[in-house]
Structure 1
Amino acid sequence: MKDKFNEFSSTRILGILIIKSFHYDTFGKPVKIQFMKFEHHSISKDQHIDLFKSILKPRLIEEKMLVLLRQGKISKWFSGIGQEAIAVGVTKSLLPDEYILPMHRNLGVFTERHIPLYRLFSQWQGKLNGFTKGRDRSFHFGTQEFKIIGMISHLGPQLGVADGIGLAHKLKNESSVTAVFTGEGGTSEGDFHEALNVASVWQLPLLFCVENNGYGLSTPTNEQFNCEHIADKAVGYGMESHIIDGNNIVEVFTKVSEITERIRQNPKPVLLEFKTFRRRGHEEASGTKYVPDELMKHWEKLDPVDNYELFLLESKFLTEREISSIKSELKSEIDEHLKLANKEVEVEADEATELQDVFKLYEFNGQLPSPRKTELRFIDAISDGLKQSMEKFEDLVIMGQDVAEYGGVFKITEGFLEMFGKERVRNTPICESAIISAAMGLSIKGIKSVVEMQFGDFVTSGFNPLVNYLAKVHYRWGQNADVVIRMPCGAGVGAGPFHSQTNEAWFTKTPGLKVVYPSSPQDAKGLLIAAIQDPNPVLFFEHKALYRSIRGEVSDDYFTIELGKANRVQEGDKLTVITYGAAVHWALDVLKQYPDISVELIDLRTLSPLDEEAIFASVKKTGKVIIFQEDSLFGGIASDISALISEHCFEYLDAPIKRVASLSTPIPFAKNLENQYLGKSKFEEALITLNKY
């Protein structure tokens, strides 16, 4: 949807849009006017001066940073020179308690939120007074204090995170707007499509701010998308959109202010395309040799700071002496805060601190199982644990494909819609990346969520936000991801290569994720409740073949089983079997045939964190060990457990460590091929061989 009063025509120079503003007369005919029109009936003299100070400050900081970069005092810089009006204007249009998710060229967001400059300088120098304890650089950080949620280098996920924050606004009945930034290059990512689609379907109060600055590193816009304006894409999402002159601080501030006020009253997403230009390299080392001189000179004439300063002089709002005084005052502030940051000592490396900060620490409140029990199937125990968690945490949200009216493809959430309502039991579009990112956004607003992967295999479509955002966010800047991802998984049901994988090894190697994999109905309920209680991201694997084939006594009431604690299913002193999931039952079936072999069976239950103490104690007792997993052998968790045993229990071993796993092929569909694939067919031979060793 084009703005009612102004629109942009365009001329292409080597694929880059050069824009000219037109005003429509009463007959609807375009009349060319000055490119930057700073007069506005709603902006007073004092407001003009305030706007000028606000865009001048990041410009002066940037000029100082470029000097420090050349001196080797900072390692990298992503310049936003020429784009200050966008960050400042958007931030000024928001209320102080409204969230904003900026990019690495939006210094004006941080200055306009009045973050003390020495903290920003400490962040860029990797010091403790920054926001990431030296663990991340530049603008890769967030701060709840200033309601800023920082980006990651993979750009796209933050758009979905904004969806989650916007959803939280609606769930909490808050009349608030969230603004999220991306560049024209980021609009090519699938996350852009997914996030806008979800925001439109759910009518979330969001501003999607796209800075169309001409180039994605060195690739011009005509090689990135084949439409005239990014704003035109909004039509496909059923969204309102506007094109705004990103170099005009007055236009940015007034138009965005008007839009945000409307969204607070009538929640919905709006796509804003800010036409601007990146006049320096993607980062300083890149340079700008690929930019035609004509294009660079054109945009230099449209500098947002210089032109606004000229307007203030011509309007007699400020004199040259007053402007000089303002600049001097700002430069003194910058120098003063730089001295503070420079005096700060370097971060001390402490291994214990680093390891401790991977997860949010919390006191586990164990609730013992009640003596009253009911025999339940594995699937019913999961449903029961989920239902009781929804009752305990009144704002807990379940999201996933077909989880509402349909009850999920396995019917685990059947009836939940009637019990908890559509706001909390939410069908989602097929967009795993956006939904996992949205779960992160809910956590930022203090809301727990459970995301159901329709099949665990489909998590690959949401892999990036899971391993790069949720897993790293607490370590980076102390924000936890209070999210459980339910993962229906496993073979044995003839579902073929894309619905049968048990892919836990993709995640056990990722610091910051907890991985749970129960084998019994009692464990499934208690561990799921504990996973939801845990304020950290948890992948909860549920083997599909166990859903309706395994039954057991399950405590009726709400109870927890601590994550990271293995279960000794069977005692023995001659041989240890370490396993989890469906393989526990495969092992038990074989062990029943060999009652004379004294086997200690350890069900890991949690793969990360791993109960090394239970593993080592059992191996030291028996001296022989089989590690049994359903996943294919190479690179699976059995390999790491084997290495741990070799390192810590070598002198206790009476035989080589034996790993049993499935074939190193994708999972086949035909029954006889699937049976051959699965490691269950190899376990009996391994047991006999190791027992005789």
Structure 2
Amino acid sequence: MAVVAEIDLKALYRALLLPRLIEERMLRLIRQGRLSKWFSGYGQEAIAVGCTWALEARDYILPMHRNLGVWTTRGVPLRPLFCQLMGRDGGFTKGRDRTFHFGLPAYRIIGMISHMAAMLPVACGLGLAARLKQEDFVVLAFTGEGGTREGDFHEALNLAAVWKLPVIFVVENNGYGLSTPAREAIPVENVADAAVGYGMVGAVIDGNDVLAVIEAVRRAAERARAGEGPTLLEMKTFRMRGHEEASGTKYVPKALLEQWRKKDPIDRFEALLEQEGVLSREERQAIRAELEAAVWEATEFALAQPEVQSTLEREQAELFAPPFLALRKAEPSERELRFVDAISEALRLAMEQDERVLLMGQDIAEYGGVFKVTEGFVERFGKERVRNTPIIESGAVGAALGLALEGFKPVVEIQYADFISCAFNQIVNNLATTHYRWGQPVNVTIRAPFGGGIGAGPFHSQCKEAWFCHVPGLKVVVPATPEDAKGLLLTAIEEPNPVLFFEHKLLYRAVSGLVPEGIYHVPLGQARIVRAGTDATIVTYGVGVHWALEEAAWWAERGVSLEVIDLRTLVPWDRETVLASVARTGRVLVLHEATRTAGFGAELAAEIAEAGFMWLDAPIMRVAAADLPVPFAPTLEAQVFSARPRLRPALEQLLRF
């Protein structure tokens, strides 16, 4: 093999042997009861080591939990690595996640989350960052053969091919997904045959031959650096241990294990070293003894470290990256804008101010988006920064995470908020947890046109903001006025944490208001009293603000003074302003357009009852939509489903109490 002459075989042997010795040590510790869990890559070391060896230090690698050799070959220090693997103080995630669920940007390694194939779209975002920065780093991402049945696999490969991204997708086909053999999950022999369907190069590689792995990855990297796009490499290997050590291998035929034992990558490489006269048996034994000693010392060090300790206050303080505080006040000059135009202006100003801001979404370029928010943007900023995506909500959000890791400030438009469910995993399990787990700020803004009132039926009218309020690590914003829409969106784009920005479709062209010119910021987590009152408080957000103001005006004509609070931000929400109002009025009604059961109003009511019970002169009232899908017929939506008709009777009951 030509690659042999170019490689320091002695150094490669050390790199290949080290993860094997760690594997052996971990298995002994499990048998001794000193380690509770281990996801073994025993017998698969040639893939992780070979892929890493073939790349350059500036290239990104996105490994999975059997790719220990990535971390060791990149030179990650063993002591903190073992503290991480053993959940001891001194690990990389402060005890917040296990094994390889973290990133080390200094080593250009971005670890996994448990959901299969979820990091492949992130690799696309990193690859796009390389293109936008005009840098020639490459991104290599691993998945198992089971993960290739996931939607993220398809979305990522499709996106990488369409945008010709410098990404290498490595399928580590080790024969089993937990206990299910690949033949029962995949209807073809070679996953790499799928490459032609995406218009990319694909190849099947002997994953137990470290030199074959190196050669294949080098070729793929050369193509990527030359602008020839992605490659799909299927590495054939076998999982010699259980899914995790405790699960065992009883479901694997013994003959199959024996067949693959004869193909062991360490044994094969040692045979090559003998053949080439590179390392004698005695030299190999000396290397083994040296590495075993280093592994023993590092594991004993880790096991001697204390269990991770913390406080609730510390954990809560590190959930988010420090918020954006360089808030710019509004200039005194104002003019009237529609809600939709205020959002458009915010995006335009942010893009003019900072080249790291870019937009992604379906039909947002030449078409300008279905609501025309980005109309004219592609002519002004170009298609590199105003990017049409395929219909891949999960893929787009995952790519946004990759871009954020490289310092960009991506804004993703979900065409209708109803479609955000397709990106749910990326949002709640990837974006939301990244900073808490390993301290990485995630500047991603997701714009989601939501809400009813336009006769759009059950799949274009839903209010699903409460889904995300339940997930620690996300910020949720719902503006009600053009002024706030612009100021809050400008803040969200600068915020180093993931923000879901819900824009009510009904307000786009139905509501206008005075909006300051230029850039200004409305702080997240600060409510606004939009109408002062003394007899009762209405706490609401979004379109509910307009309903509440209409109702307050009607009651004012009858001598009743209602205070209306616009939360503006649901996470974090302004408890101080709300509780101070409740203390003044003694009565409170919580209003939102979303369905009642488990809506965000339930959280508001519970918190007010707990913290403000002594001020209440009446039970807290909740007004929300009926617990039904949103009906299409305007009459049904307005009369049966909508919260609006329920508002006045609820206020009458509240004020009578």
**Partner Cα separation in structure 2 for residue 42 and residue 429 of structure 1:** 39
Does the alignment pair 1:542 with 2:506? no
Instruction: Determine if contact 2:552/2:561 at 8 Å carries over to the other structure.
Output: no
Instruction: State how 1:272-287 maps to structure 2 within 5 Å.
Output: 272-287=233-248
Structure 2 portions without partners, runs of 5+: none
Greater CA deviation, 219-228 or 420-429? 219-228
SS at match of 1:196: helix
Q: 2:139 aligns with which of 178, 187, 190?
A: 178
SS at match of 1:593: helix
Superposition deviation, residue 576 in structure 1: 0.5
Report Cα offsets for 1:79-131 as digits up to 9, x if no partner: 11111111001001111121100011001000001011111110012123211
Partner of 1:528: 489
Does the alignment pair 1:637 with 2:600? yes
Instruction: State how 1:214-613 maps to structure 2 within 5 Å.
Output: 214-595=175-556, 596-613=559-576
Partner of 2:630: 667
Does the alignment pair 1:135 with 2:99? no
Greater CA deviation, 285-294 or 539-548? 285-294
Partner of 2:16: 55
Instruction: Determine if contact 1:597/1:691 at 8 Å carries over to the other structure.
Output: no
For 2:492, give the aligned amino acid.
A
**Partner Cα separation in structure 1 for residue 512 and residue 28 of structure 2:** 69
Does the alignment pair 1:93 with 2:61? no
Partner of 2:615: 652
Partner of 1:28: none
Partner of 2:642: 678
Superposition deviation, residue 146 in structure 1: 1.0
**Partner Cα separation in structure 2 for residue 103 and residue 366 of structure 1:** 40
For 1:565, give the aligned amino acid.
Q
Does the alignment pair 1:109 with 2:70? yes
Superposition deviation, residue 72 in structure 1: 2.4
Instruction: Determine if contact 2:536/2:587 at 8 Å carries over to the other structure.
Output: yes
Instruction: Determine if contact 1:248/1:304 at 8 Å carries over to the other structure.
Output: yes
Instruction: Determine if contact 1:80/1:107 at 8 Å carries over to the other structure.
Output: yes
SS at match of 1:97: coil
Partner of 1:627: 590
SS at match of 2:355: coil
For 1:544, give the aligned amino acid.
K
For 2:650, give the aligned amino acid.
A
SS at match of 1:539: strand
**Partner Cα separation in structure 2 for residue 375 and residue 665 of structure 1:** 37
**How much identity, in percent, do the aligned residues show?**
52
For 1:231, give the aligned amino acid.
A
**Partner Cα separation in structure 2 for residue 128 and residue 634 of structure 1:** 42
For 1:104, give the aligned amino acid.
H
Superposition deviation, residue 343 in structure 1: 2.8
For 1:55, give the aligned amino acid.
L
Superposition deviation, residue 348 in structure 1: 1.2
**Partner Cα separation in structure 2 for residue 521 and residue 45 of structure 1:** 63
Greater CA deviation, 617-626 or 254-263? 254-263
Instruction: Determine if contact 2:356/2:407 at 8 Å carries over to the other structure.
Output: no
Closer/same/farther in 2, CA of residues 46 and 239 from structure 1, 3 Å limit: closer
For 1:90, give the aligned amino acid.
C
**Partner Cα separation in structure 2 for residue 581 and residue 93 of structure 1:** 53
**Partner Cα separation in structure 1 for residue 521 and residue 33 of structure 2:** 53
**Partner Cα separation in structure 1 for residue 347 and residue 2 of structure 2:** 56
**Partner Cα separation in structure 2 for residue 63 and residue 477 of structure 1:** 28
Count of equivalent residues: 654
For 2:469, give the aligned amino acid.
T
Instruction: Determine if contact 1:74/1:124 at 8 Å carries over to the other structure.
Output: no
For 1:669, give the aligned amino acid.
F
Superposition deviation, residue 46 in structure 1: 6.7
Q: 1:69 aligns with which of 26, 30, 33?
A: 30
Report Cα offsets for 1:28-62 as digits up to 9, x if no partner: xxxxxxxxxxxx33424971222111111000000
SS at match of 1:548: helix
Instruction: Determine if contact 2:220/2:230 at 8 Å carries over to the other structure.
Output: no
**Partner Cα separation in structure 1 for residue 48 and residue 469 of structure 2:** 39
SS at match of 1:600: strand
**Partner Cα separation in structure 1 for residue 6 and residue 155 of structure 2:** 43
Instruction: Determine if contact 2:103/2:110 at 8 Å carries over to the other structure.
Output: yes
Closer/same/farther in 2, CA of residues 45 and 179 from structure 1, 3 Å limit: closer
Partner of 1:194: 155
Report Cα offsets for 1:297-355 as digits up to 9, x if no partner: 11000000012112212332111111110000001111121232223222112111100
**Partner Cα separation in structure 1 for residue 321 and residue 419 of structure 2:** 27
Instruction: Determine if contact 2:455/2:634 at 8 Å carries over to the other structure.
Output: yes
Instruction: Determine if contact 2:50/2:214 at 8 Å carries over to the other structure.
Output: yes
For 2:647, give the aligned amino acid.
F
Report Cα offsets for 1:264-316 as digits up to 9, x if no partner: 12241000000111111111111111111211111000000012112212332
SS at match of 1:43: helix
Superposition deviation, residue 173 in structure 1: 0.3
CA RMSD of aligned residues (A): 1.1
Structure 1 residue runs of 4 or more that deviate by more than 3 Å after TM superposition: none
Does the alignment pair 1:78 with 2:42? no
Does the alignment pair 1:691 with 2:652? no
**Partner Cα separation in structure 2 for residue 526 and residue 383 of structure 1:** 12
SS at match of 1:486: strand
SS at match of 1:547: helix
**Partner Cα separation in structure 2 for residue 617 and residue 597 of structure 1:** 19
**Partner Cα separation in structure 1 for residue 568 and residue 7 of structure 2:** 64
SS at match of 2:509: coil
Report Cα offsets for 1:642-679 as digits up to 9, x if no partner: 11111111111000100011101000010110012111
**Partner Cα separation in structure 1 for residue 139 and residue 7 of structure 2:** 27
**Partner Cα separation in structure 2 for residue 410 and residue 289 of structure 1:** 57
For 1:374, give the aligned amino acid.
R
Structure 1 portions without partners, runs of 5+: 1-39
SS at match of 2:109: coil
Partner of 1:167: 128
Superposition deviation, residue 254 in structure 1: 2.1
**Partner Cα separation in structure 1 for residue 290 and residue 108 of structure 2:** 27
TM-score where L is the length of structure 1: 0.93
